[in-house]
Structure 1
Amino acid sequence: MLKNTHKLLIGTGFAALSFASSAFAETTLNALFMAQAAYSEDDVRAMTEAFTKANPDIKVNLEFVPYEGLHDKTVLAQGSGGGYDVVLFDVIWPAEYASNNVLVDISDRITDDMKKGILPGAWTTVQYSGKSYGMPWILDTKYMFYNKDILEKAGIKAPPRTWDELAEQAKIIKDKGLLSTPIAWSWSQAEAAICDYTTLVSAYGGDFLKDGKPDFQTGGGLDALNYMVASYNSGLTNPNSKEFLEEDVRKVFQNGEAAFALNWTYMYNMANDPKESKVAGKVGIVPAPGVTGKSEVSAVNGSMGLGVTTTSKHPEEAWKYIVHMTSQPVQNEYAKLSLPIWASSYEDPAVTKGQEELIAAAKLGLAAMYPRPTTPKYQELSTALQQAIQEALLGQSSAEDALKTAAENSGL
């Protein structure tokens, strides 16, 4: 679980830090990335190697940590007055990072080509209060994955279009003895559960906040948690889902132990890799379902950006590295685990070939991405909601009471 460390005192003396060029012959950049999902470590190393070959006077030290440690590592390094020049950050952190002067405002560095070429929705990943604190890099949402073989054996002709249909199809699969628990989710007490919950909130037309105050405890927010509890209690959901993160879901699905799974883009090509997956060639993908009368599809904004820290001693080189990592040629070359931020990439056969189903799902899913709440107190809010989801799933509290408590403990 992510800890709340954003209250650490962060020096404001770096606010006026300029992008002046370094005088050193060789510059070393320290960059912090994520060790799971989206681009693989091998991909990031290869992208970086191409950059250092083209810029032999710049060396880049790469550090990879699990998503759950990314926020704290960034903030702790900032509090100690150094550490990283470039950091990967989640869409939920710009409000906090901007308020605490963690990232450099790079609004004046964004070129017209970037403004015109990058998908409008991608920019929301790095913005707060009208300013940009980095470049969007990972464009992502959660999709509904399904095992084509199992659906065919069950006589199901098309994947679910609504969340109620998901339950109906899972019951058919269970009743026919094909799988005892056909659905896998990542509902561990971590940000992963908030992403699944947000997907459902978007389907039910709920709101996280209204006039800056919690509003998830009623309407669509309550409907979403009630659906999760019903799915968990129905026996159709893998009971270990309450401890699963996304990687656990991937492993269960590619072992053939789930007919349905909600997960990020990266699972599509990994689960289709015959070297590590038992279901290669049988992986179906569609946007996450909707709710009759309320939505056609549902989606959470799970995008991430790359930013320059205010404590970086080499901001010019750091920005140069970010421009390389987010450039269209680099993104197109590595479009198998994360889709590009550039609009025209989706018409490029080099990007779409062999993953036409994914691209078709992405065109609908990415357009429907629903944001988790934008607030400097996001960490408190998320922690309170994670606890509420666990309590409701475990039957320690009703969904309604759990969400009321979360609203009171959200810090808002």
Structure 2
Amino acid sequence: MTRPRLAFAASAVAAGLFASAACSGPAGTGGAGELTVWVMGDSSARFQQLVEPFSARTGIEVDTVAIPWDSVDQKFTTAVASGNGPDVLQVGLSKVPAFAASGALLTLDDRTLRDHPGLAAHHFLDGVAAAGGAPVSVPWVGDTRVLFYRSDILAAYGLTRPPGTWDELRAYAKVLAGRGVGQYGYHIPQWDSALPVIMTWAQGGGIVDDTGRIDFDTPEFHKAVDIYTGLYADRSVPADADFDQIQGFVSGATPMLVSGPYLAGAVAAAAPRLNGTWSVALIPGAAAHTSLLAGSNLAVWRSSDNTDGALRLLDYLSEPRTQLTWYRLDGQLPVTKVALDDPALTSDPLVSMYVRQLRDARPLPPVPNWDGETGKVLLDALNSIVLTGADRDTALRGLYAATGGTSVE
């Protein structure tokens, strides 16, 4: 799977940031060895460009290796078994608990980081540094979900502002679905296990009980299920699992959806003519507007023979100037407080909304295997109700039985 990157990198980030990054921070000593870095997806060439100033400043050569997103687990498992891993690796936030449990990553406690004050948690957005539940990584880039909406289509039906709650979104979607055959009001990706959790947060609830175990059997989750299944019952969302959300948004067939900021770049690239006809808003919510906190961290391989160089690289990558340069190069949102407050980000209305949402976001519960276990069972239950007509109560009882008692690490 190729993870889409943000294509809206702000022109306000001056090109001089990249050059000046070579002069930022404390000077290092030359000839300090080499580092192998695993980065996920298709950004290896841009990452190599990003670290050129670091190599020039420290004498540490960096070899960047791209790992396809769908090969991450296998690559990591093989490396753990062989003991032959990289010096530094990018870790998706949802993978941190499982990777930490392997014992292959260096513990980044206060003692380890005492000579690297730039990696202290207080430099990062509140909640980001603690995401993942284990001190084996530091934040690298952030991601979240917002509501995308076609303001032109909504306005044509008298809907002059984005929906503020999920109940209101459902009402909007029903109106918009009445436009005719093949027209809907909203799109639910059937692979998105985070969406029903976000809906639960919006009701003021959660899916972890006071003992630190997964618990879906709550009034707030039941309300989220009402919304999720109700959108299908209203015929306000397409039932086709292969429905293309980008094309649906561009064509107007699905003029509302929740997605990450990368969708903005995809829409801009696919249909620049639509500029000014769509916008983004905070996640709808009755009790809260909390969204998903996602993104990636950076970790150091425990048996690296250049731990010092690896930590110095993490220092460099956490510098606000470097984070802004990476935003310009790859469109990934920074996670340091200073970078997030930079006018290069806040002056762009879309990005300003992403940053605002990022400040009210939380990660999925750090269970060992969300995608393959808890999240999959959640989607299987909901999709069986809306797509195959399974009995709601029976499906939910199965969900509770399969996930209840799962411990959050």
Cα 1:335–1:154 change in 2 (3 A) is: farther
Q: TM-score, normalised by structure 2?
A: 0.79
Structure 1: which amino acid aligns with 2:279? G
Match of 1:84 in 2: 86
1:320 maps to which of 291, 294, 312: 312
2:296 corresponds in structure 1 to 304
- What is the CA–CA distance in structure 2 between the aligned matches of 1:347 and 1:25, rounded to whole Å? 34
CA distance in 2, matches of 1:72, 1:397: 34
1:253 pairs with one of 249, 253, 266:
249
**SS of the residue aligned with 2:314?**
helix
Provide structure 2 residue ranges, at least 5 long, that are not aligned to the other structure.
2-29
Is the aligned partner of 1:65 residue 2:68? Answer: yes
Name the SS for the 1:288 alignment partner: coil
Unpaired runs of at least 5, structure 1: 2-22
- Tell me, yes or no, if the aligned pair for 2:90 and 2:298 is still in contact at 8 Å: yes
State the distance in 1 between where 2:189 and 2:53 align: 35
Q: Does 1:170 align with 2:170?
A: no
Match of 1:404 in 2: 397
Displacement after TM superposition at 1:161 (Å): 0.3
Displacement of 1:156: 1.4
Structure 1 runs of 4+ aligned residues shifted over 6 Å read: none
Structure 1 residue 307 displacement after superposition: 1.0
The RMSD of aligned alpha carbons is 3.1
Worse overlay, 80-89 or 137-146: 80-89
Alignment match of 1:359 (pick from 347, 352, 356): 352
Amino acid at match of 1:228: Y
Cα distance, 1:42–1:261 mapped onto 2, change above 3 Å = farther
The aligned counterpart of 2:146 is 143
1:158 lines up with 2:157 in the alignment: no
Q: Any idea what SS the aligned residue of 1:101 has?
A: coil
Q: For 1:339 and 1:25, how far apart are their aligned partners in 2? A: 30
**TM-score under structure 1 normalisation?**
0.79
Deviations for 1:64-104, whole angstroms, at most 9, x for unmatched residues? 312x5433432332223223332222333333333321321
* % identical equivalent positions: 21
1:228 Cα deviation after fit: 1.5
Of residues 344-353 and 164-173 in structure 1, the stretch that sits farther from structure 2 once superposed is: 344-353
- Give the superposition deviation at 1:187: 1.9
Q: Is the 8 A contact 1:160 1:289 kept in 2?
A: yes
Q: Does 1:343 align with 2:345?
A: no
Number of aligned residue pairs: give it.
370
Counterpart of 2:368 in structure 1 is 376
Alpha-carbon shift at residue 394 of structure 1 (Å): 1.8
Deviation digits for residues 293-347 of structure 1 (CA, Å, limit 9, x no counterpart): xx14131222321111224343333333333333211222343633221223343
Pick closer, same or farther for the CA change 1:26–1:298 going to 2, 3 Å. Answer: closer
Correspondence 1:2-401 to 2 at 5 A: 26-35=33-42, 43-66=46-69, 68-108=70-110, 109=113, 111-115=116-120, 116-128=122-134, 132-177=135-180, 180-188=183-191, 193-210=192-209, 211-240=211-240, 242-243=241-242, 248-273=244-269, 277-291=272-286, 295-335=287-327, 337-353=331-347, 355-363=348-356, 365-376=357-368, 378=370, 379-401=372-394
Query: The residue matched to 1:406 in structure 2 has which SS?
Result: helix
Which one is further off, 158-167 or 275-284?
275-284
Measured in 1, the distance between the counterparts of 2:355 and 2:32 equals 44
72 and 392 in structure 1: CA distance in 2 versus 1, 3 angstrom threshold: farther
Measure, in 1, the Cα distance between the counterparts of 2:383 and 2:311.
40
In structure 2, how many angstroms separate the alpha carbons of the residues matched to 1:148 and 1:90? 33
Letter in 1 for 2:193: I
Distance (whole Å) between structure 1 residues aligned to residue 289 and residue 235 of structure 2: 24
